């Protein structure tokens, strides 16, 4: 039986790690995936329209999917998400602007991709109050019938303290 040298083992480990590491197509010093750059821009424009009908095109409608938002804690399926955001947020807003930052990262594995980005939310409520919020957004996308759809989403904001 032939022994494998330490250098060979190290080379195998590095090779496996490189194969297992997802392609990172955006981030500091990297070019941004043009398909997702456009998709994310359209996504944030849609959420700035004060209607959940606008961003609906970006979501898979499977009722078993989970979407996390700043408040409430979670929505079960797109129908619940759509109704909850409309009632609890958009119906009380006079305007809302979601501005994505320039820190988009895109990781793809076949027909699945995950994106991370931070964004700024600026809201003027119908009662005259204003709100400014910086938040984080992670989405898992699946390509179905040639179209990228969000199958899971997590939006959160840092605790203020």
**Each residue of 104-139: pLDDT tens digit?**
999 999 999 999 999 999 999 999 999 999 999 999
Whether residue 14 is contained in a domain is answered as no
**Each residue of 36-95: pLDDT tens digit?**
999 999 999 999 999 999 999 999 999 999 999 888 889 999 999 999 999 989 999 999
Q: What's the domain count of the chain?
A: 1
CATH of the domain at 49: 3.10.450.50
Whether residue 38 is contained in a domain is answered as yes
Whether residue 6 is contained in a domain is answered as no
Instruction: Show the domain range for 89.
Output: 24-156
Residue 15: the pLDDT is: 35
| Predicted confidence band of residue 161 (pLDDT cuts 50, 70, 90) | low
Quick one: which H or E segment has residue 36? helix 34-47
pTM assigned to the model: 0.79
**Each residue of 15-51: pLDDT tens digit?**
333 333 344 444 454 557 889 999 999 999 999 999 9
Using the Cα atoms of residue 40, residue 145, residue 114 and residue 55 in order, give the sign of their dihedral: positive
Q: Tell which residue, 115, 123, 117, has the closest CA to residue 135.
A: 117
Quick one: which H or E segment has residue 48? none
Whether residue 2 is contained in a domain is answered as no
């Amino acid at each position: 039986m032939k022994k494998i040298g330490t250098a060979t083992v190290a080379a195998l480990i590095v090779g496996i790690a490189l194969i297992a590491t997802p392609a990172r197509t955006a981030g500091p010093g990297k070019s941004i995936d043009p398909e997702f750059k456009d998709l994310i821009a359209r996504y944030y424009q849609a959420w700035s329209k004060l209607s959940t009908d606008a961003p609906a095109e970006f979501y898979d409608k499977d009722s078993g999917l989970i979407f996390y938002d700043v408040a409430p804690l979670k929505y079960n399926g797109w129908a619940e998400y759509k109704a909850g955001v409309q009632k609890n947020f958009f119906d009380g807003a006079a305007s809302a602007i979601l501005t994505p930052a320039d820190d988009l990262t895109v990781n793809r594995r076949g027909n699945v991709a995950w994106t991370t980005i931070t964004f700024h939310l600026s809201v003027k409520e119908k009662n005259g109050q204003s709100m400014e919020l910086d938040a984080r957004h992670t989405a898992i996308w699946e390509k179905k019938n040639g179209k990228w759809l969000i199958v899971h989403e997590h939006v959160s904001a840092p605790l203020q303290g």
